Structures are given as C-alpha cells and as structure tokens.
Structure 1
Amino acid sequence: MRFHPFSVLSVLTFRPLSGLATPFASHWDDLREKHTWNSVPENWQNLGHPPADTTINLHIALKAKNENALINSLTEVSSPGHPKYGEHLSREEVAELVAPPSDVLELANAWLEHHGVYPSTISTKHGGSWLTLTAIPVSKANELLSASYQLYQHIGTNDTVLRTLSYGLPAALVEHVQCVAPTTHFGFPRTPWQEPLMRRGGATTEQTQGTVLGGDPGTVLSSRDQGVTPSSLRSFYKTSSYVPLAAGWNMLGAAGYLGDYPSPEDLRQFMNRYRVDATSETYRVVQIQGGGYDPSSPTIEANLNMQYTSAIAYPTTHIFYSTGGSDTLGDPFINWLDYVLGLWSVPQTVSTPYSLPEYRIPLDYATHVCNLFAQLGARGVSVLFSSGNDGIGHGDCLVQDSSGKSQVQFLPTFPSTCPWVTSVGGTMGYNPEIAASLSGGGFSVYFPRPSYQDDAVPTFLLNLGGQYNGLYNPEGRGVPDIALQAMHFPIILKNRRLKVSGTSCSTPTAAGIISLLNDYRISSGKAPLGFLNILLYGICLEGLNDITSGSNPGCNTDGFSAVPGWDPVTGLGSLDFERLVAILSR
C-alpha cells in the first residue's frame, strides 16, 4: 500500500505571477482558493449565520522575502560549534528576517483599501509579516475572502466558533500569503478530558474512592497508592541536589487556553504536601486577548502544569499565560505567539501540554504556526509540547486518501510535529523505565524530516522494514524527541488530591528540568539553550536515558515499539540532569 497524504485539505497549485510592476491594476475579484474542507469537520455542527452586526478580528500572515533566512539563523544559533551558537536574536532582528517584500505589503494594503478596510483598523506587526484587522464586520470578511463565515458548535463541549469551510485570495496575492486566521482551522485547545479535538496531554484518569484534603471522604480521580511524586522525579532525573542561582533572570512559562486556570491555593497545598521547602512558591498571571483568570475555578490541566513545573524548577520565576481566542477573538495559538514574540524579554522555557491531530489542521495554518515557533527558538526559547495520549492514533484512524477513499492512517499530533519544537512522549516505571502505552508518536504528514534527525530516524525505519507500509509517512518529521514519566501523578484540585496520567505530566516535568539547565547556563554566564533539538540529537545524546521496551498501540494495531536509539514512542529517551550539566559545562 502506498502512503498518501491526507486529502481533507484542498490547496490549489497557484499560477506564477508575471510580476508586481502594476499591482494596483490587479483584478481584486480574480480569486484563487486557498483552503477548503470537503465537509464540516468531525464533531462539529453548523448553527447557521451569525447576527448581522457580528465582527471578527482577522490575522493575515505574509511570507518572508527570504523564506530560508529564519531557519538558517535558527540553525546557526542552536548548533554547538557554530561561531554564532548561543547568539540568540532580538525581537527586531527576527522581525527583519521574516519581513515580506515591500511591494507585497503595498499590494496587500491596496487590496484591503479596495474593499474599504482602512489603515485605522489595520495593525502591522513583526516587520510587516502580520496584518491584524480589528473588529471588521463578518460581511466584510466574507467579501474579502470569498468566504461564508458561520457559527459552528463542537459536539461534546458545546464550544461555539465562527469559521468558514473555505476561503480564497486574489490571484496577485495568494502565493504571498501564508494563511489567514481564523478561517478554516476548527481545532483549538478546549476539550473534555475524555474526547480529543484538541487533546490535553494529561487526559487519562481513573475514578476511585479517595480523600478530600479536609479529611472528608469523597470521590476523586486516583490510581496507584503513592504515584509519581515530585521528590521521586527529582531523584530519578537527578535534579535534587541542584540549587538554582539565576531565579531572578530565568523564566519558565506555562501556557493555558480558553478557560484553563491554575489555583495559587492548590499550589500552596501541593507544595505543603510534596515539596515543603517551596511553600512560598507563587506565579505571575498574564492574560492575553480575552484570556480570563478565575483561581476559584481551576482546571486539572492548568494545575498539573503549574504544580509540576514549579515543584521541579523552584524558585525559578513562573508565568502562567491565560490566552483567549474563540469566536471573534481570533486563534488561541496565534494570539499567544503574537504576544510573546512582541516581548522584549522572552521566557527561556515554555511548557505547553496541548495537542491536536495533525490531519484536522489546514496545512497553511500549521505551516504558519510552526514558523512562529521557529521565531521563538531563534529568540532563545525552549518550547516543549506533549506528543498526545493516543499512541499512534485514536479510534479506527480512518481518513480519506487523495482519491477520496477511506483508509487507515496513523495520526500524529500538532504542534508536536512542528520541527522547531521539542515533542515530549511518556514513560513509566523505574529500573527499567519503559514506554507508556499512551505515548503519542509517529511521523508528520505535513513537515519533512529535519536534518537533525537524519542520523537517528533512518536507523529505526531500516529496522522496522516493511511493517506498516502505507500507514505513515517515512519521510516525515519523527515524534517524540524525548519522553519522561507520564503515569499516576498526584495533583491538588479544589482541595482534593487526584492522580492523573498522560503526556501533560511528562511535558511540565521535562520543562522543569530544561529550565534548571537554563538556570545553570545563565548562572555560568552563558546563553540559554534555546531550541533544543539540535543539541539533543547531537552532543547531548549521551546525557539521555535510552528507553528500549514498551510500545504505543493505536489505530487497531500494536503500534511502534521502543528500541535502542530513537523510536516513535519514546524518542531519544529521558533526561539525566547531572550528565547534561556535565556535557554543557565543556
């Protein structure tokens, strides 16, 4: 069986331009399709047209004049041995790298003015690569994009979004625009624990009889007697004896979206129980684009993220980002990236335990968001994403191939598949540490294998042989990159003690350890690690614990197996802090 890229996307092959010599004479009504869904995406239902006075914020991303410049710079500053290693770029330097050609920016503004969208409603950012149209009528958005924005509700969460099933752009502009959002991207980071549209990494739990911390019996989520505590993680990954020295300069960010909030009171109780020297731990909250903050209504995901990053990296400065972005407020990932990329001083490490099935995301959107993460890497940020909790895929994994025929395809998750983030899978057990069966892994359909994986991934594929031919993309970026403990983590939620499992557990653990490595670097007068993967697949490989047993079943198959070396279950293995410090001190 041949592998076929998913065809739920329909992106036209664009006609080459004859040039931009007479851009303002372009026929703005000569539109070309940019992206179309063949049908309403799974788990969504159409509620019809919005009220006539509805407005929307549109984000238009223009391609850089030199599309290779950003990745070239990211590679240079992230590669030990390169003369520019560690010389991370400023906000202005990144903006210059991603700036579009000036005539394209003029062309885009002329198109908008032709449709009655004037400069007072347009914000130009990041070297002109982002145009944000604020509060324009939906009728105007439909006219601009040949779209049909309607209200859609997710079956299960009842979340409602304003989206269109297709959109287009003028022929003179279409190949210069990376994407427009929100348009056809339906997935966003808000789902119930049990059903993934955007799957939270820690979405597996067990319901048993437990104890409310006030002493009263109550039903809580629990499992093994003790679970994997911060002290056991710190011992196993060898961070217990390290005392941070750059806590005032080193920052660790935890991302939350659309109503995921942590509780400072729950954090205090967690530290009282699991790290008594850190009971004074606090965090700063940054609210982005309508992101709220109600500590009286905390969620499992946000508490898990904050409690474990804090317990590992205390007393490092912690920031919780609460980001909005549904309906008229735009896209959550883009809203968060817009804010962080606009900062003069960025957090050195970010934990983001969210993921979506890659095939449910428009290619133009995924490419744009991935490029934004590359910009963060160039700024010196280590970005970690969970690889998901469904092994190689959830359910029967039936998708349409390029001929329209349904067939099984393994389902990797995004943003984990973006080559410019670090994907974190899951393990369990001690001596030996083995793969957790829920650990998401596989190969991207959208993103080709990056050069830093050229020595690791082909070895696995050679040994795999013909197994699963046609079910995955052997030329794609492999995930995860690393894997850490993911099972039976105790947390505190609303005065109750729970236990949860998933890569939402392994991701903040990994982020806490990386933050300590950044502390070591900064306190030694060196640059933070920034984009991690070139290091991990290179000089830091000997600082990882190879995981060689276990598998990640899914899609009604046995999944991939953990083997010596890299594998699409546990990546390169787990982190050994002491060995990594020794390597980084050379």
Structure 2
Amino acid sequence: MRYLQLNLLSVLATVPLAVLVTPLAPPWNDVAVKHAWNAVPADWESLGSPPAGTVINLHVALKPRDENALIDALYEVSTPSHPKYGTHLSKEEVTRLVTPHQDTLELIHSWFTHHGVPSSSISASHGGGWLTLVGVPVSQANEMLGASYQLYRPVGTNDSTILRTVGYSLPVVLHTHVQTVAPTTCFGPMRTPPRTPSVRARAAPADVGSREPVTAMSNRNEPEVITPEVLRWLYKTFAYVPAATDRNVLGIAGYNDEYPSPQDLGWFMSVFRDDAKDPAFTVEKVNGGGYDPSHPGVEANLDMQYTQSIAYPTPHVYYSTGGTLHWTPPSNEPASDDLLLTWLNYMLDKENIPQTISTSNGIDETRLPLEYATAVCILFAHLGARGISVLYGSGDYGVGRGDCKINDGSGRVQFIPTFPASCPWVTSVGGTTSQLPEVAASLSGGGFSNYFQRPDYQDDVVDTFLQRLGNKYGGMYTPGGRGIPDISAQAVRYMIVVNTNVFPVSGTSCSTPLTARMQTAAGIISLLNDFLISEGKNPLGFLNPWLYGRDGGLRGLNDITSGSNPGCNTDGFSATAGWDPVRPARL
C-alpha cells in the first residue's frame, strides 16, 4: 500500500501545477449579462469614450447571509403592536444582520485578485455587504465587467456629462452572490427635472425685523402664498414648543452645490417667525462637499427656512454632499462616484444620526436597473431599523412625465413612479394645494412601483382602493406594486428669502414643489419625535407600519378627497375617501 502511495505521488509530481489548479479555480471567463439596456436610454446621447487614464470608483453590493433578517427586524421595531416596537437597533446590530456569507467574501476577493485589483484600494462597509474599489482605471473596469463605459449627457443640452455603460456582465458564479455594481447602467442624476419657473422677487426692507408676518389671504379665505404662519395654523403646530432640543436633531441632505445661507435664514425668520431668536444650523461636508453661504441656492434655502420655521429651535444639520456624478469640459475629469451611495455610506457609518431626515432628490424608476434600486432601497431599511424617519417626495409629474410609452415598439403606456419614494422602506410625501379645504395638487407624484412589491402594511388600504378603481388604467400600472405616496403636505407658492430678496416660488429649476412639501412634513415629524423623546420614549423611526396600522397615524390625519394627478397623457388617479395614489391624507 505504501508503494502505491509513493508511486501516485511521483506521478502527481510530474503533472504541471496549472493542470491541477485550473479545474478548482472559479470559471471567471464564463460570464453572463447582469443588466443591460436595449439601447441608450431615451433623452441621453453618447459623447464617446472618456479621456485616457480616467478612473472610476466601483461599489459592489453583496447579498447577505440571511436576506430576510433585516426586514424582519425592521417590522418588529416599527410595528406598534409588536413587543419590540421602538427598541431600535444599533449600528453594530444592523451590521450583524446584513453580513454576507464567508463563501461570498472569499469568492468576490478571488475575482478581484484575478483582475489585479490591489487590496489597498478595497474598503468594506455595512458589515462587508458593500465593497468599494477606489480609483479603478476605466479600461480595467471595462475588462472586469464586460462593459463599455462612455460619457453621456441629456440630448439637446449643454449639461455636464455622466460616465456610464449601457450594459455589464459578471461571471456566472458571482450572480447569486452580487446584488449590483454601481455606477454602471443607472442613467440620470438623482434629481427631479425642472418645472416651469415662477419667481417674483422683491427686496426685503431694511427694517425687516419689525415687519408683520405675511399671510396674504384672499377674499376666498385661501392663502395666495404659503408662509410659516399659514402652515403652523393649517397643521396646528402653534402650541407646541420643542422640549428635547438637546437630543432631537433634524437632518437635511443637500446635493449639487446647493448651500443654505445663515443670513437669509435670519432674515426669513425675522419676517415670518419673529419669535425665533438667532436660528442656526451646522454643516457637515460629505465626500468633499462644499459650503459657500455667499452663493445660496433656492432649494437649499427653502429646505432650511421651512424646517426651521416649523421645528425651531430643534438643531438642524445640513449635509453638503460632493461628487455630483458629472464632469464639465474642459477639465476632462469625469466624476468617479455614485452620489446617492456616497451619502448613504456616510450616514450609515455614523454612530448617531438625526432622528428625522429629509431629502428631495429623486429619479424615474425607468432610469434605474432593478438590481441597483433594490440594493439602495435596502440601505434605507438600515436607517429605519436604527430609528430614523426618512422622507422622500413622490415626484412632481403626476403619474409620469411625457407619453410614458414603453420602449419596446408596442406603444403601451406604463405609469412611471419616482425612486427612492417607491422604496417600501421610506415614507413618501405627496402634495396638496393651498385651497381650503385642501385638494390634491395636480403635480403630486403617485401610483404604484413597477419594481417593489406592495409591503404588508399597505395591503388593506390598497386593496380597497383597487376594488373601487376597477378596470380603469388596466395594464398601465402594477397593482401588486408598492403604492405611493404615504402622506401629503402643502406643495406650492412658498415664500422664501434668497440673497435678502423675498419672493414666492412655485416650480423652479430646483423642483420647489417637491422640496417645499418635504420640509413641511419633515418639520412636523421632527416635532412628533421631540415630544416622544421629551417623554422618555423612543422616536418614531420608520413611519409606515405605524401610519397604516389599525390604530395608526393615518387616522389622525385629514383625508383629502378631491383633485387628481394627471400625467402620461391621462387624467391620472383621482383622490377619494381613504388611501389613494395621489395624496392619501395630509398632515
């Protein structure tokens, strides 16, 4: 027996090492498409390959060991009837729920090694569930992903461009381990496209501090413009004075070089809320984000002025996020990162996060790969499990902009919801107009996700609506999809101050209707969190199971039963009693 063993070893010693290793190595050359568009997405054009030497940061999302663990925990801490309600998870507890299997980590790192990716360029976040490869040459990214990265920009514009590929592939063996790679086939900045401007500016008077609050009520007892006084009266927040300002914080996500001005905030509050003394906010710069208050943005000022006017003196943090996804000639230096992922990674890495977060930017679902949207959506579940209320606007184009025809030659129309509002783990905010009683604003985005299934918390109310709707719009929406919005608030004709000029805005290049209702809703939710914290209780966290519960928040809101949200060359959905995909109930 010993002779046979030695003889076998002698034979093996004569076999080339490559012959022994190759059958055990993963078949990296056996690749399959992970995601691809049939053509360059509508309204985008290619400007060709990027300059030689261009680099890109790649984000690789891995599947967790237990794909249900995080969502199960999120429901437990967010459902009032559950024994664990309000016992939100720590950063470390969330991390343990989303950690990938060790086999996944070993396999993905073996793939990196195969392509010569240095370990020094790889960093891990969210328990290893997301890996970031920094400074990857585009030529190497093309080889790894079977991609063809090019520069793209919106057709007929002089806008800055984005670096994307129409499709990418992965080795077959990785498909069950990798959720998505970004940035790849996600087209369009995380920003709602502009509406028609309506800005009428006038200078604030020198004695602005003594000026009476502007209410601008017409003979019909309806506000011609929206001011903090109108909102605080309409939503009955006058009587509450925040009492947990040492613990409760409101956060605002800022992008695209938009900055709020402390000077404009002071002028605004002295005009419209003169009981607020020395309003202030802090700025945190994310990923090289800037801050130049001498050049304030309309959107950023509106964000800060209206959350402050409702939630004052609650501390505010403005997150100025750099990395705009764009490059502008003649620099020839394309941006190398993903804006939304950059912000989420920053927030989730923090031990302490504001209990309420508002962010206005969004993008049509049709611009996103399903895998990308799913992976990002899960990151919002991380925030919810940690007790954070995250609000997103439902969009400003009703059920969809344009003709909404599917690009498959069939001519079929499909309504287009907005992401991240369509993610089940955020709270989506629709819009109302200033009429009394309020009605649904025609611009209010709403409908049903084509990507995300309807969450359990919506089953009862959505079934009721669909039974009432009947066969109308059959085939144009996904009845089993997540319904949006969840709540609504005033959306148009807000008075703001920019560069010490006071003017009303109703649809600017900064998508003011979306921004306005977001900040109103965020301010009110922050007040609710303040009350709970001041009473020694935990904050609301992820709102939706509470909102839709049997004895939940929607029962305490006013039902809006008139108005509609036209789009896609249709009349859209109509507001009715109970929940509807226009504006279910206003705060």
Scaled by the length of structure 1, the TM-score of the pair is 0.88
Following superposition, the deviation at residue 102 of structure 1 comes to 0.6
Match of 2:558 among 541, 545, 566: 545
Whether the aligned pair in 1 keeps the contact of 2:224 and 2:434 (CA below 8 Å) is no
Q: Which residue of 2 aligns with 1:561?
A: 574
Whether the aligned pair in 2 keeps the contact of 1:23 and 1:172 (CA below 8 Å) is no
- 2:349 and 2:189 map into 1 onto residues whose CA distance is 22
Q: How do residues 148-297 of structure 1 correspond to structure 2 at under 5 angstroms?
A: 148-155=148-155, 156=157, 158-190=159-191, 198-199=192-193, 203=195, 205-208=197-200, 210-213=201-204, 226-297=224-295
Larger mean CA deviation between 487-496 and 561-570 belongs to 487-496
Q: How do residues 485-504 of structure 1 correspond to structure 2 at under 5 angstroms?
A: 485-501=490-506, 502-504=513-515
Provide closer, same or farther for how the CA distance between residues 69 and 28 of structure 1 changes in structure 2, counting only shifts above 3 A.
same
Whether the aligned pair in 2 keeps the contact of 1:380 and 1:528 (CA below 8 Å) is yes
- 1:285 and 1:345 map into 2 onto residues whose CA distance is 15
Following superposition, the deviation at residue 555 of structure 1 comes to 1.4
Three-state SS of the structure 2 residue aligned to 1:522 is helix
Following superposition, the deviation at residue 24 of structure 1 comes to 6.2
Q: Which residue of 2 aligns with 1:40?
A: 40
Match of 1:421 among 406, 426, 437: 426
Whether the aligned pair in 2 keeps the contact of 1:189 and 1:258 (CA below 8 Å) is no
* Per-residue Cα deviation, 1:272-305 (whole angstroms, up to 9, x for no partner): 1111122411111111113222212222211111
Three-state SS of the structure 1 residue aligned to 2:168 is strand
Following superposition, the deviation at residue 329 of structure 1 comes to 3.4
Q: Which residue of 1 aligns with 2:441?
A: 436
- 2:335 and 2:112 map into 1 onto residues whose CA distance is 19
Whether the aligned pair in 1 keeps the contact of 2:199 and 2:503 (CA below 8 Å) is no
Following superposition, the deviation at residue 429 of structure 1 comes to 3.0
Q: How do residues 8-23 of structure 1 correspond to structure 2 at under 5 angstroms?
A: none
Following superposition, the deviation at residue 495 of structure 1 comes to 2.1
Whether the aligned pair in 1 keeps the contact of 2:432 and 2:444 (CA below 8 Å) is yes
Matched to 2:62, the amino acid is L
- 1:42 and 1:499 map into 2 onto residues whose CA distance is 34
Whether the aligned pair in 2 keeps the contact of 1:383 and 1:421 (CA below 8 Å) is yes
Q: Which residue of 1 aligns with 2:454?
A: 449
* Per-residue Cα deviation, 1:188-240 (whole angstroms, up to 9, x for no partner): 235xxxxxxx337xx454245x422258xxxxxx9998511111111111111
* Per-residue Cα deviation, 1:499-555 (whole angstroms, up to 9, x for no partner): 223132111100000000000111111111000001111122221111111111111
Following superposition, the deviation at residue 409 of structure 1 comes to 1.4
- 2:196 and 2:78 map into 1 onto residues whose CA distance is 35
- 2:306 and 2:130 map into 1 onto residues whose CA distance is 35
Following superposition, the deviation at residue 351 of structure 1 comes to 0.7
Matched to 1:199, the amino acid is P
- 1:227 and 1:381 map into 2 onto residues whose CA distance is 32
Three-state SS of the structure 2 residue aligned to 1:141 is helix
Three-state SS of the structure 1 residue aligned to 2:230 is helix
Q: Which residue of 1 aligns with 2:49?
A: 49
Whether the aligned pair in 2 keeps the contact of 1:57 and 1:328 (CA below 8 Å) is no
Unaligned runs of 5+ in 1: 1-21, 191-197, 216-221, 576-586
Whether the aligned pair in 2 keeps the contact of 1:352 and 1:507 (CA below 8 Å) is yes
Whether the aligned pair in 1 keeps the contact of 2:228 and 2:273 (CA below 8 Å) is yes
RMSD: 1.9
Whether the aligned pair in 2 keeps the contact of 1:374 and 1:420 (CA below 8 Å) is yes
* Per-residue Cα deviation, 1:358-411 (whole angstroms, up to 9, x for no partner): 11111111101100001110011100000111111112222225xx42321111
Q: How do residues 372-387 of structure 1 correspond to structure 2 at under 5 angstroms?
A: 372-387=379-394
* Per-residue Cα deviation, 1:424-465 (whole angstroms, up to 9, x for no partner): 000123541111111110000000111000110111110111
Following superposition, the deviation at residue 44 of structure 1 comes to 2.0
- 1:496 and 1:508 map into 2 onto residues whose CA distance is 20
What is the identity percentage for the equivalent residue pairs of Structure 1 and Structure 2? 57
Q: Which residue of 2 aligns with 1:5?
A: none
Whether the aligned pair in 2 keeps the contact of 1:44 and 1:152 (CA below 8 Å) is yes
Q: Which residue of 1 aligns with 2:354?
A: 347
Equivalenced residue count is: 536
Higher strand share: 1
Scaled by the length of structure 2, the TM-score of the pair is 0.88
Is 1:478 paired with 2:483? yes
Following superposition, the deviation at residue 568 of structure 1 comes to 0.6
Following superposition, the deviation at residue 160 of structure 1 comes to 1.4
Following superposition, the deviation at residue 352 of structure 1 comes to 0.9
Q: Which residue of 2 aligns with 1:10?
A: none
Unaligned runs of 5+ in 2: 1-21, 207-215, 326-333, 507-512
Three-state SS of the structure 1 residue aligned to 2:358 is strand
Q: Displaced runs of 4+ in structure 1, greater than 4 A?
A: 222-226
* Per-residue Cα deviation, 1:22-58 (whole angstroms, up to 9, x for no partner): 9961111211111111121222221111122111111
- 1:23 and 1:374 map into 2 onto residues whose CA distance is 40
Matched to 2:438, the amino acid is E
Whether the aligned pair in 2 keeps the contact of 1:189 and 1:199 (CA below 8 Å) is no
Three-state SS of the structure 1 residue aligned to 2:176 is helix
Whether the aligned pair in 2 keeps the contact of 1:289 and 1:329 (CA below 8 Å) is no
Whether the aligned pair in 1 keeps the contact of 2:257 and 2:289 (CA below 8 Å) is yes
Say which one has the larger Rg: 2
- 2:554 and 2:110 map into 1 onto residues whose CA distance is 51
Three-state SS of the structure 2 residue aligned to 1:329 is coil
Following superposition, the deviation at residue 153 of structure 1 comes to 2.1
- 2:242 and 2:24 map into 1 onto residues whose CA distance is 58
